[in-house]
Amino acid sequence: MGFADDGGEEREQMSFDEAMPNSSSFFRNVDCAYFPCHEGVDEKSFNCLFCYCPLYALGPACGGAFSYTASGIKDCSACTRLHDGDAGVAIVREKFAELARLAATTDASRDEA
């Protein structure tokens, strides 16, 4: 499955599994000064794999429990969506096409690099 870039050209898109071969779906860092950084998940199943949320850039489309601060910054401290066991990997897989589109470059921006 591909997607059209800004020029209307169809480009190939990697799946999550192609982009992350042989990856682990669970990681817990109990030595982290912030562990656990989100309340509401059992410490034994708390997954730190997505310490920095890959869905943050999706804004309201991320599907998580978030709010915006008075200054307009997205606050995800109430979200446990990616941290409960290995459920986060399935969620990122589901949203991977949207993330890939955000990260894709147009031919013009590649020429500038």
Helices and strands (DSSP H and E) totals, the chain: 3, 4
Structurally, how many domains does the chain consist of?
1
Is 9 a member of any domain? yes
The pTM of this model reads 0.64
Is 110 a member of any domain? no
pLDDT digits (tens, 9 = 90+) for 33-86: 988 888 888 888 888 888 889 999 999 999 999 999 999 999 998 998 888 888
Is 33 a member of any domain? yes
Is 111 a member of any domain? no
CA-to-CA separations, 71 to 74, 97, 98, in angstroms, rounded: 9, 30, 26
Is 93 a member of any domain? yes
Q: Identify whether the C-beta of residue 100 lies closer than 8 Å to the C-beta of residue 11.
A: no
